[in-house]
Amino acid sequence: PLREYRGKLFGLTISAERLTAIRKERRANSRYASVDQCRREVAEVERLFEQYDIPYIDTTDVSIEEISTRILATTGIERHFR
């Protein structure tokens, strides 16, 4: 199902440790926020990105401006201003 949309997809990933910290703010002491759960989820999504050849970047320590710049550079999309 992802393959047909591959040209429209771009993945974002994050370190499991940072994801854990974010989730602990929402739901401390839950399985959802455990580092093991976050590691499994991050590994699974990165495996899917690689399996379907979806470009992706690690956004752990990156500002939203830098994320958008990297996506534009990776995809070759040109920025248009009005």
Greatest alpha-carbon span in the chain = 47
Are the C-beta atoms of residues 77 and 70 closer than 8 Å to each other? no
Domain spans in the chain, listed from the N-terminal domain onward: 3-73
Tell me the mean pLDDT in the region 5-16: 94
Q: By C-alpha distance, which of 14, 11, 17 is closest to 55?
A: 11
User: What token pair was written down for 47?
Assistant: 């495996």
pLDDT digits (tens, 9 = 90+) for 18-74: 999 999 999 999 999 999 999 999 999 999 999 999 999 999 999 999 999 999 999
CA distance 69 to 43: 25
Whole-number pLDDT of residue 49? 95
Are the C-beta atoms of residues 44 and 63 closer than 8 Å to each other? no
Residue type at position 5: Y
Whole-number pLDDT of residue 78? 83
